Structures are given as structure tokens and as C-alpha cells.
Amino acid sequence: MCIRDDEGRYVLAKTEWRTLLLDVDLSEALGLLSAMYWVRDLQLGIVDIELDSKTVVDSLYGGNYGVSNFSAVIQDCRRLLASDLVTFNVRFIRRKANEVVHSFARVASHHASFHIHIRIPSCISTIIMNEMQ
């Protein structure tokens, strides 16, 4: 997860590593839920979340999808989306446009549990600088 300001400058980042083997959609939904909780705990006001999982974004704004772990996580995301604490705008972007997070994900496996990055990690600094130009 990487938080940037409204001009694209790096603010803060967090990596999480889970040892469970989950399906892709559930993993993406859990990542969204974790990001939403983190942003809420940081007490940020209006937040745009870019996610490269169309299934998760469509499910978040779509109908109910039965009883499953995936559906339960989406319901938790919807509750946070409806809360008054943070205004979330979650949108789908193509994976190619989400290069920072995918480069950052490779680093996550080197940290136990989670790690907060106050300074911009070297693995994403060039990408962020190029995107700001």
C-alpha cells in the first residue's frame, strides 16, 4: 500500500505479508480492506484508492454474491465505504498503471507480518519520480 498526496508525492507506505494461500480475488479484497482500515486509523479525510482487480471493484459497487469468505470481506469493505469517518473513492486501474504497488509487493516478502515505510523505499522511488514528471 502506498499513500500519496494530491500531487502524487510519497507520504507513507505499508507492506503486509500473509503466509496463507488464498485465491487471488480474496487476497485482493483483503488487501483493500486492510488499506481501508489503515487509512481510517490514520484519520485521512478523502481518499482515492486505485485497485487493479476489476472483480473486487465491481463486487464492491455491485450486488451481493452469496455466502463466501470473499463476500464477507466485500461486505466489510462496504461498511467502511458507508462510514462517515473517511470518504473513499475506490476505482479500477489497469495493472500497468499500478507499477508502484507491484514493485513494492516484491519487497513485502522480506518483512515479517507488516512494515511501515516512513521514507520512500528505494524499490519504488524511481517509479514515483517518473510518474510525477
Closest CA to 73 of 34, 39, 40: 34
- Among 57-66, 99-108, 115-124, the range scoring the smallest mean pLDDT is 99-108
With a pLDDT cut of 70, the percent of the chain lying above it is 79
What distance in Å separates the CA atoms of residue 88 and residue 80, rounded to the nearest whole number?
8
Could you report the per-residue pLDDT of 82-108, keeping only the tens digit for each? 988 889 999 998 766 566 666 666 666
Across the chain, mean pLDDT equals 82
CB of 12 closer than 8 Å to CB of 38: no
Greater confidence (124 vs 54) lies with: 54
3-state helix, strand, coil in the chain (%, to 5): 50, 20, 30
CATH 3.30.420.10 fits 2-132, yes or no: yes
Asked if residue 122 has pLDDT above 90, the reply is: no
- What is the structure's pLDDT at 42? 92
What distance in Å separates the CA atoms of residue 39 and residue 80, rounded to the nearest whole number?
10
pLDDT range class, residue 33, cuts 50, 70, 90: very high
With a pLDDT cut of 90, the percent of the chain lying above it is 34
pTM: 0.80
